[in-house]
Amino acid sequence: MLLLEVISGERLAKPERGKMRVHKISNVNKALDFIASKGVKLVSIGAEEIVDGNVKMTLGMIWTIILRFAIQDISVEETSAKEGLLLWCQRKTAPYKNVNIQNFHISWKDGLGFCALIHRHRPELIDYGKLRKDDPLTNLNTAFDVAEKYLDIPKMLDAEDIVGTARPDEKAIMTYVSSFYHAFSGAQKAETAANRICKVLAVNQENEQLMEDYEKLASDLLEWIRRTIPWLENRVPENTMHAMQQKLEDFRDYRRLHKPPKVQEKCQLEINFNTLQTKLRLSNRPAFMPSEGRMVSDINNAWGCLEQVEKGYEEWLLNEIRRLERLDHLAEKFRQKASIHEAWTDGKEAMLRQKDYETATLSEIKALLKKHEAFESDLAAHQDRVEQIAAIAQELNELDYYDSPSVNARCQKICDQWDNLGALTQKRREALERTEKLLETIDQLYLEYAKRAAPFNNWMEGAMEDLQDTFIVHTIEEIQGLTTAHEQFKATLPDADKERLAILGIHNEVSKIVQTYHVNMAGTNPYTTITPQEINGKWDHVRQLVPRRDQALTEEHARQQHNERLRKQFGAQANVIGPWIQTKMEEIGRISIEMHGTLEDQLSHLRQYEKSIVNYKPKIDQLEGDHQLIQEALIFDNKHTNYTMEHIRVGWEQLLTTIARTINEVENQILTRDAKGISQEQMNEFRASFNHFDRKKTGMMDTDDFRACLISMGYNMGEAEFARIMSIVDPNRLGVVTFQAFIDFMSRETADTDTADQVMASFKILAGDKNYITVDELRRELPPDQAEYCIARMAPYTGPDSVPGALDYMSFSTALYGESDL
3-class secondary structure per residue, 47-93: HHHHHCCCHHHHHHHHHHHHHHHHHCCCCCCCCCHHHHHHHHHHHHH
Nearest to 254 by CA among 321, 300, 317, 324: 317
**Max mean pLDDT range (74-88, 306-320, 656-670, 749-763):** 656-670
What does the alpha-carbon distance between residue 790 and residue 807 come to, in Å, rounded to a whole number? 9
DSSP string, 651-716: HHHHHHHHHHHHHHHHHHHHHHHHHHT--HHHHHHHHHHHHHH-TT-SSEEEHHHHHHHHHHTT--
User: How many angstroms separate the most distant Cα atoms in the chain?
Assistant: 191
**pLDDT average, residue stretch 357-381:** 78
What does the alpha-carbon distance between residue 753 and residue 254 come to, in Å, rounded to a whole number? 62
Model pLDDT, residue 438: 44
List the beta bridge partners of residue 700.
738
- Has residue 253 got a pLDDT over 90? no
**pLDDT average, residue stretch 706-733:** 82
DSSP string, 211-273: HHHHHHHHHHHHHHHHHHHHHHH-----SSHHHHHHHHHHHHHIIIIIHHHHHHHHHHHHHHH
pLDDT digits (tens, 9 = 90+) for 402-460: 778 888 888 888 888 888 888 988 888 887 777 666 444 345 777 787 888 889 889 88
User: Which regions of 533-617 does DSSP assign to beta strands (E)?
Assistant: none
Report yes or no: 623 and 572 within 8 Å, Cβ to Cβ.
no
Helix 532-593 crosses helix 617-632 at what angle (to 10 degrees)? 150
Output the CA–CA distances (angstroms, integers) from residue 445 to 293, 450, 511, 512, in the order listed: 90, 9, 10, 11
DSSP string, 3-31: HHHHHH--PPPPPP---SHHHHHHHHHHH
Q: Which of 365-374, 705-714, 747-756 has the lowest mean pLDDT?
A: 747-756
Model pLDDT, residue 494: 92
Model pLDDT, residue 358: 66
Can you give the pTM of this predicted structure?
0.33
* 554 CB neighbour count, 10 Å cutoff: 12
List the beta bridge partners of residue 737.
701
What does the alpha-carbon distance between residue 167 and residue 107 come to, in Å, rounded to a whole number? 10
Amino acid (one-letter) located at 316: W
What does the alpha-carbon distance between residue 706 and residue 351 come to, in Å, rounded to a whole number? 104
Confidence grade of residue 519 (pLDDT, cut at 50, 70, 90)? very low
**pLDDT average, residue stretch 530-553:** 87
- Has residue 711 got a pLDDT over 50? yes
Model pLDDT, residue 442: 41
Model pLDDT, residue 140: 92
Model pLDDT, residue 314: 75
Q: Please, what's the b/e burial string for 397-410 (b: 16 or more CB within 10 A of its CB; e: otherwise)?
A: eeeebeebeebeeb
**pLDDT average, residue stretch 729-738:** 84
What is the CA 220 to chain-centroid distance, rounded?
A: 19
Report yes or no: 588 and 662 within 8 Å, Cβ to Cβ.
yes
What does the alpha-carbon distance between residue 673 and residue 537 come to, in Å, rounded to a whole number? 96
Walk me through the domains of the chain, giving residue ranges and CATH numbers.
1-186 (1.10.418.10), 199-323 (1.20.58.60), 347-531 (no CATH), 553-676 (1.20.58.60), 756-817 (1.10.238.10)
- Has residue 820 got a pLDDT over 50? no
pLDDT digits (tens, 9 = 90+) for 555-605: 878 887 888 888 888 888 888 888 988 888 877 767 666 656 677 777 788
- Has residue 166 got a pLDDT over 50? yes
Task: Give me the chain's average pLDDT, please.
Answer: 80
Model pLDDT, residue 200: 67
Confidence grade of residue 102 (pLDDT, cut at 50, 70, 90)? very high
What is the CA 518 to chain-centroid distance, rounded?
A: 97
- Has residue 142 got a pLDDT over 90? yes
Confidence grade of residue 62 (pLDDT, cut at 50, 70, 90)? confident
Model pLDDT, residue 124: 92
H/E stretch holding 492 = none
**pLDDT average, residue stretch 757-782:** 85
pLDDT digits (tens, 9 = 90+) for 685-700: 777 777 788 777 777 7
- Has residue 518 got a pLDDT over 70? no
pLDDT digits (tens, 9 = 90+) for 169-187: 888 888 888 888 888 876 5
Could you tell me if residue 278 is left (phi over 0), alpha (psi between -120 and 50 degrees) or otherwise beta?
Answer: alpha
Confidence grade of residue 68 (pLDDT, cut at 50, 70, 90)? low
